[in-house]
């Protein structure tokens, strides 16, 4: 089973923003704005929730959401918070679009990473056991990275949908079964 660990999304509120005013007036659990260190206003609407970063251009990023529902809830919280300040983004704003999903799955077996690196094709993998305990696999047919430790608890990055994540994981499982079917 593939599960989401983190969603990174972005959008635009449809107008430029005064981050100094928003930082002091916005109703959010946590607000951090230090323009000398970072140009964005970082917001958390609830303790432990994903981070929303607003930029003065009106663009925003959301990082750390665990589901599409949480992503939508953060957008609604942003809409309501800036709406309370007289800024309407529902009609002019761009809803968040997923840029990257980070997912995890378990192949439920120990994996010989040296043998797997050869079996998957050295041109598609990076495996340097002296430097990292992971095998990094870029399947030719898919636009993603699958990180594989020897215990089989893989992560899948560079995808935008759960369908892509499930396809990547199924591809890996099939390749492992083909390569190690004698065991």
Domain locations in the chain as residue ranges: 9-99, 107-179
Q: How far is CA 171 from CA 22, 28, 29, 137, in A?
A: 46, 42, 41, 11
Write down how long the chain is.
183
Cα 60 to Cα 94: distance, rounded to the nearest angstrom: 10
pLDDT of residue 93: 61
pLDDT of residue 91: 62
CB 40 within 8 A of CB 32: no
pTM value is: 0.84
**113: buried, middle or exposed (CB in 10 Å: 19+, 13-18, 0-12)?**
middle
Name residues whose C-beta falls within 8 Å of residue 144's C-beta, 6 or more positions apart in sequence: 138, 156, 157, 158, 159, 164, 165, 168
Q: Write down the CATH number for the domain with range 107-179.
A: 3.30.310.10
Residue 36 φ/ψ, nearest 5 degrees: -75, -20
Cα 127 to Cα 136: distance, rounded to the nearest angstrom: 6
pLDDT of residue 13: 87
pLDDT of residue 51: 97
Cα 50 to Cα 64: distance, rounded to the nearest angstrom: 4
pLDDT of residue 118: 95
pLDDT of residue 86: 77
- List the pLDDT tens digit at each of the 183 positions of the chain: 999 999 999 998 888 899 998 998 888 899 999 999 999 999 999 998 999 999 999 999 999 999 999 999 999 998 888 887 777 776 666 789 999 999 999 999 999 999 999 999 999 999 999 999 999 999 998 999 999 999 999 999 999 999 999 999 999 999 999 988 855
Give pairs for 159-163: CB < 8 Å, separation 24+.
159/100, 159/101, 159/103, 160/98, 160/99, 160/100, 160/101, 161/98, 161/101, 162/2, 162/4, 162/101, 162/103
Topology agreement, domain 9-99 and domain 107-179: yes
The CATH class of the 9-99 domain is alpha beta
pLDDT of residue 67: 93
pLDDT of residue 8: 97
């Amino acid at each position: 089973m593939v599960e989401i660990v983190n969603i990174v999304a972005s959008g635009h509120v449809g107008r430029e923003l005064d981050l100094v005013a928003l930082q002091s007036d916005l109703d959010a659990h946590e607000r951090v704005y230090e323009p000398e260190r970072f140009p964005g206003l970082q917001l958390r609407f609830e303790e432990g929730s994903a981070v929303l970063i607003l930029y003065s251009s009106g663009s925003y990023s959301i990082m750390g959401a665990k589901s599409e529902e949480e992503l939508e809830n953060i957008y609604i919280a942003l809409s309501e918070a800036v709406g309370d300040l007289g800024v309407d983004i529902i009609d002019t704003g761009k809803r968040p679009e997923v840029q990257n999903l980070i997912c995890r799955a378990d192949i439920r077996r120990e994996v010989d990473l040296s043998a797997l690196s050869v079996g998957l094709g050295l041109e598609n993998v990076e495996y340097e056991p002296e430097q990292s305990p992971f095998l990094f696999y870029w399947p030719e047919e898919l636009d993603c990275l699958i990180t594989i430790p020897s215990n089989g608890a893989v992560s899948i990055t560079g995808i935008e949908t759960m369908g892509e994540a499930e396809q990547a994981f199924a591809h890996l499982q099939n390749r492992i079964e083909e390569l190690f079917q004698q065991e």
